Structure 1
């Protein structure tokens, strides 16, 4: 019983945000290197805000606006970002593992070297997004709009792309399944000679 109680309190402390950091984020509309684990940042406008290096794991970001914001090197694992707007922002080297971002807007976002394992990106709008060197495992892009996006040096074999729009999407040095390759060609994607279809 004592061990269960201790585990509960350790779990609470590990997911608790810093109240001063949350206050700064809500008032200044940015917070660099902040502890915002599990914080409620939903339905706010953080356009142009700098959050690089912050821990936003398990945070609620749904319907918030991060237009042209800096979320590079952020931990967004397990965050709720449904219908959030990240238009033309920077999310390089960010951890988006298990992020719930259904319907979110990633148009023109730089996601270079980000981790998108088990990310729910169904119905997202990611035109011109850059996924160079990003890691994918069981990522779900079902019904996503990925037109003119870049997938360079990725392994996409476990990624779901059912009904995804891939018009003019560029694939280079990337590994795809044969079914994904067929879908990409049907969608008029651009597959260079270094793409492997397995």
Structure 2
């Protein structure tokens, strides 16, 4: 069974647009997962959300997100407010610039994806882009929205395809 694309959209360089798909280059499915079990009954334990002061269970409809601004002080965000703040995706990997291969410090690398053409009529353009990058020993920096999050992506020639690696922002990297 062939892998399913995690994302489909377009790779855009100036006026050129190539339909592409992203596939996870790594997998966590083979990791061992443990469940919490009741030692006495052997049944799985379910996690309940309870009010930290009263100890009473809180139904999912009464739960909202909150950002702590002080000790026990929160700014409450309703689901609609969070949805409004979520960046909208135009399904485009918009290349902003090219950099020399190796110029980006590996500490910024987050998650690698294989990038390939999503339509057979895009193969020729895709190969042209890949081989141009390989010949000039450059990688591309692109902006996009992936999985409801604005991301910068490093795109480089990799074997018969391209590797698209999401990058961490400066504030995410510890010094």
Structure whose residues are more often strand by fraction: 2
Q: Per chain length, whose mean CA-contact separation is higher, i.e. which structure has more relative contact order (CA < 8 Å, sep 6+)?
A: 2
Per the normalisation by structure 1, the TM-score is: 0.19
Per the normalisation by structure 2, the TM-score is: 0.21
